[in-house]
Amino acid sequence: MDNLLQSAIPYSILILNAALFWILRKLLSPILPRKFALLFWEIISTIELCSGCAELGVIWTRHGNIGLAIGLFLACLWWCNQFGDAEACPCGPIEDAILLRQPITQPKIYLRLIGQAIGAYVTAMYIDFIWCFHLTPEHTELHTKRCQAALQTTVLKGFLVEMFITFVSRIVCLESFKLNERLANYINSMVTVTLVLAALDTSGGFFNPILASALTLNCEGNDFLEHFLVYWVGALLGGLLARKLHLMNRQKGKMKSS
């Protein structure tokens, strides 16, 4: 009975997280200054995403790939419907700055990046607060021992894996906008689950630099340079390649229609 209750705890935390951040958005929406609203949405969405993925790690430890797949798929559907204009990932704004030649100081870009950085920093304190109650043996270990890096292969292979899965994730996301929103959300959620499971035993399957840094920066097993090359350079390069391909396809479509 105790084991059953402990098994339900990480799922319960995911649900409570969803309710907490849903309430927070509802409370803040009417009072936030429009000029800075995006900053707060990025902070909230980044914390929700990163803390949710941290708890999904506990689910994976207890229930393996099946538990992770179900939990992640449902969480992705929820996040797709809740994040709104927030991205909780630096790929989009950095692609805008490089490929669309928008200045890095353009309001939306720097609000997104600053919000995500703040959200990643707060995530560490938030999940540590949850784990300090030692609700499960996994929480106890995560709270009392130094975290372990997710990279389980060479830096080069990890770099290539993160670049490839970010490319696939971004191209599917960008191209799915042609579909209706509900179908696009299902497709993106299924692709996310597939990519995470495929990369778990190599890079950990993050394909989001801010998520990787929030959960594994300074963890034992990788130094800062290795982390940066795999999870930032690899992912951002994959995203840039996907965005470039997407823009080329759009340009070809416009030329055909004209």
pLDDT over 90, % of the chain = 88
Main-chain phi, psi angles of 104, to 5 degrees: -65, -20
pLDDT band with cut points at 50, 70 and 90 for residue 258: low
Residue-wise pLDDT for 31-83, tens only, equals: 999 889 999 999 999 999 999 999 999 999 999 999 999 999 999 999 999 99
CB neighbour list of residue 91: distance below 8 Å, 6 or more residues apart: 166, 170, 208, 209, 235, 236, 239
pLDDT higher than 70, residue 2: no
**Is residue 217 exposed (0-12), middle (13-18) or buried (19+ Cβ within 10 Å)?**
middle
> Measuring CA to CA, which residue among 209, 194, 216, 205 is closest to residue 240?
209
pLDDT higher than 80, residue 25: yes
pLDDT, position 162: 98
pLDDT, position 27: 96
Longest dimension (CA), the chain: 67
Residue-wise pLDDT for 198-242, tens only, equals: 999 999 999 999 999 999 999 999 999 999 999 999 999 999 999
The per-type count for the chain, helices as H runs and strands as E runs, is 10, 0
Domains and CATH numbers, the chain: 1-88+115-145 (no CATH), 147-258 (1.20.1080.10)
pLDDT band with cut points at 50, 70 and 90 for residue 15: very high
Tell me the sheet residues that pair with 148: 220
